Chains A and B, each alone.
Chain A
Amino acid sequence: MYPAPIENYLAPATVQEALKALGAQAVGEAQFIAGGQSLMQAIKSRLISPRTLIDLQHVAELKGISAEAGGVRIGAMTRYRTIAAEERLNGAYEALRDAASHVGDRQVRNRGTIGGSLCWNYLAACMPPTCIGLGASVELLDTKGEKRTLLAEEFLRGPLETARKETEILLAVVLPGAPPKSGSAYKKWGLVTDALPVVGVCAFVEIGDDGRCRRARLAVGGLATGPRRSKAGEEALAGAAAKDADAIAAAADRAAASTEVQADMWADASYRKRLISALAREVVATAFARAQARRPA
């Protein structure tokens, strides 16, 4: 497989230059390329045949993780490798490290980026459900200089669909501030080690001084409808403690029961529901343990 001819290749150094390059092309004819670990496959299989490629590799302002007032900001061009190694994400945002450290393989993690994954929103991807589970937002800037912020769950639609307009660039993923006693976890199940997820589940829990869950978030990926929150599962976790294995199992079952799943060559519908339930139990337990762990402030 080989790409169709590409007429133009641009490698801007700043966001402003990238948007200028985008604005100079007819709408839909230019494509941003981040790490390219999904996009190059799509280009080689000719699923897409962009006339112009705008490579974001030199845009330094899109890279890196920084603590912000009340949260954490992750530049769109931050690689899985960097996220997997970032200890400041431990606890509340640790699900992102779980997810990033098992995407594809080492070579993919050396190039692939969080922003690329979200903008591609492949059905079997780990970043989309993880960002939804963490209540993350995304920042977008358009060619006219207008900025907007959307929740990940608003941004991510069906597979390969997002709310990004053709005139916009994704700047960053912003994780909301989290109280000290909160924890998160992500786990996927695939056919072989670190394979694309047939199902992936992300859990976030915030606990009170009594150790009981005050707020929970659950999100599921690997769905034909796109990554989704399971509000039924979240509600069922309210008031549960880490030791309430029955309550956690019941919440996981509710999450599975209330999620619309497809049957495909990787898993039939009933098996997918079993996977959602089993993974949810595990990630909720891990999220509780991380919420309870003592960490330096």
Chain B
Amino acid sequence: MNRTVSITINGEVYQQSVPIRMLLVDFIRDVAGLTGTHVACTFEGVCGACTVHLDGEAVKSCLMLAVQADGHRITTVEGLAVDGELSVLQKAFNDHHALQCGFCTSGILMNAAEFLKVNPHPTESEIRSALVGNLCRCTGYAHIVDAIKDAAGRTG
């Protein structure tokens, strides 16, 4: 069965009839065509690659149906840069080479962006705890932690 939803993604309204069983992450990737949001584990909700902001809060878009996001505001990694200018966090990731293959990066950016709003001056231990929900199989997290720490310093 289908349902018409209206979801605002990065400021743009997407109104579409979708199957009730469609996951939010599939709406973002397939309906809105925003493929910066990734899918790695697809099932258990454990990898964090699909993390987006739902009304400003980091959530996993594979653990929600698109119909549940009806009327809500979503921000994806494509929404972090403003007028082509990367956010402070994105620049810090670039400067610290906080990625290798890059598959997990968009989810980590979305989680870390909200984390820094809640906790603008985190300790290293708090940063590491905040990353529990995002798997990175390349970096060993060291550069990711450095980048988040640096971004906190630059905005703080």
Contact = CB atoms under 8 A, between A and B. Distances in A.
Interface of A: 1-9, 11, 33, 36-37, 40-41, 44-45, 53, 55, 57, 81, 104-108, 110-111, 193-194
Given A55-B68, A57-B68, A1 B42 contact: yes
A9 B45 contact: no
Contacts of B64: 36, 40, 111
Please indicate which of the listed interface residues B23, B51, B60, B129 has the most CB atoms of chain A within 10 Å of its own CB.
B60
Interface in B37-83: 42-45, 48, 51, 54, 57-60, 62-65, 67-68, 70
B36 interface: no
A107 B21 contact: no
Interface of B: 1, 3, 19-21, 23, 42-45, 48, 51, 54, 57-60, 62-65, 67-68, 70, 111, 114-115, 129-130, 132-134
Given A36-B68, A81-B57, A104-B132, 6 more contacts: A4-B21, A6-B19, A7-B1, A40-B65, A55-B68, A111-B64
B133 A104 contact: yes
Please indicate which of the listed interface residues A5, A6, A7, A45 has the most CB atoms of chain B within 10 Å of its own CB.
A6
Contact of B20 (A6, A37, A111): A6
Given A40-B45, A104-B133, A2 B21 contact: yes
A3 B51 contact: no
A53 B19 CA distance: 13
B21 A37 contact: no
A8 B20 contact: yes
Nearest to A7: B1
Contact of A41 (B20, B21, B44, B130): B44
Contacts of B44: 41
Contacts of B133: 104-108
A107 B60 contact: yes
27 contacts: A1-B43, A5-B20, A6-B1, A8-B1, A9-B1, A9-B3, A9-B65, A9-B67, A11-B68, A11-B70, A36-B63, A36-B64, A37-B63, A40-B45, A41-B43, A41-B45, A44-B43, A57-B68, A81-B57, A104-B133, A106-B114, A106-B133, A107-B59, A107-B111, A107-B133, A111-B64, A193-B132
A111 B23 contact: no
